[in-house]
Structure formats: C-alpha cells, structure tokens
Amino acid sequence: MNIDYYGKILWNYHKLNEKIEKCDVILGFGSHDLHVAKRCAELFLKGYGDKIIFTGGFGRITKNLWNMTEAEKFAEIAIDMGVPKDKIIIENKASNTGENISKTKEILNSLNLHPSSFLIVDKPYRERRTFATLKKQWPEINFIVTSPQYSYEEYCKFYSLGEISKDEFISIMVGDLQRIDLYGKNGFQIEQEIPHKVWNAYNELISLNFNKHLCK
C-alpha cells in the first residue's frame, strides 16, 4: 500500500461532511491554511451567518510565516473578498484549540453578544477534533462544522506548492488522530470511536516516519 492510501483513510476519518445551514455567526479557526478564511468569507457572502469571528494568534507554523496574527490575516482576506469590516470580530490571542474556544467566549461576553448557533470553519482534516473539543468545552451551543471544499488530492497539491510540505500535512493528520484518542481519554474533548482500519493506517504511517507531530 502507498502513503496516499493510508493518508486518505485518515483524511476520510477526520472529515465529517456535515450539512450546512444558516447560523447566527461563522467562527473561523485560524491556522496556516488561508482556504479557511476564504471559506468563511464565501459562506458569509452567501448569507450563512450575520457576522464572522476569526480566532487565532501565532501558532507553531504561522509564527514563522506572517507579521500578523492568524485572525488578522484571515480578516484581511475576508475584507478583500467583500466582507464588511464591521461584520468581523477578531480574537488574536489564542495559541491552541482550547484557547480558540475560551478566548472566543471571553470576547463575545465582552461585546455582550450571545449567539446560539455557530457555523464552525476549520481545515478539512481537523473537523472531527474541533467537533469533539467543542462538544466538551462549549456544550451549550448548537454548531455545524464545515471546511474548505477540496479533496485529499487537492490538499496534497496545495501543500506541494505551499508553506508546508505534503509530508508535514500527513504528519499533522497522524498527530491529530493521536490527540483525538488522548484528549478523549483525559476529558479535554468527548471520546470518538476510532475504527481498526483507521488505527492501522495511523500505525503504518508512523512506521513510514510520519511522526513529527506526535505528542511526546
């Protein structure tokens, strides 16, 4: 079996393919992936939310890429695509998924905003981990998770040309599967069933040295 066979198994597990509908706000999780910002803007411009919140400070990858935070970079892209500046809320301090949630709560409280439904936008291969974390850390809200509408093969191509390599992309998926298991057990997120086929792909990829994003 080749690397892409196992990589696609992880991709298909991480991606939830939920049906989208209009929500009070669109919440975009920051990262190196500018497709997420574009997806948020597209959804707003199609009427799927009344405001966009971008959350993200400087992450492990982005601190070496840009001279602005993830949230600020995403907002810049959305404004360029036609989203009014006054429809965007920026949370630019979070450095991990837990802080994305806690600091978004803080900024909403400070603005006296209390949306009940969220359209969550993250990378395709982060959907499940974000879903499981939100269910645990923010159980009172209703939310739908979505992502840029591209295939595994298209993402491989993006990363062959972009800021991170395809190998790192696959290593991130491996690391996120480990975190889904670990964080479900330690109570940081709700537990997710991981099929044997997915575990097998994970172990095969580790044996092929896709281990750079594993927890120590």
Question: What pTM was computed for the model?
Answer: 0.94
Say how many residues make up the chain: 216
Domain that holds residue 93: 17-146
What is the number of domains present in the chain?
2
User: Which positions ≥6 away from 143 have C-beta within 8 Å?
Assistant: 23, 27, 117, 118, 119, 120, 134
Domain ends where: 146, 171, 189? Answer: 146
* Residue 142 exposed, middle or buried by CB count within 10 Å (0-12, 13-18, 19+): exposed
Whether residues 130 and 31 share a domain: the answer is yes
Whether residues 110 and 37 share a domain: the answer is yes
pLDDT in tens, the chain (216 residues): 699 999 999 999 999 999 999 999 999 999 889 999 999 999 999 999 999 999 999 766 656 666 789 999 999 999 999 999 999 999 999 988 889 999 999 999 999 999 999 999 999 999 999 999 999 999 999 999 999 999 999 999 998 877 788 999 999 999 999 999 999 999 999 999 999 999 999 999 999 999 999 988
- Whether residue 214 is contained in a domain is answered as no
DSSP state at residue 30? P
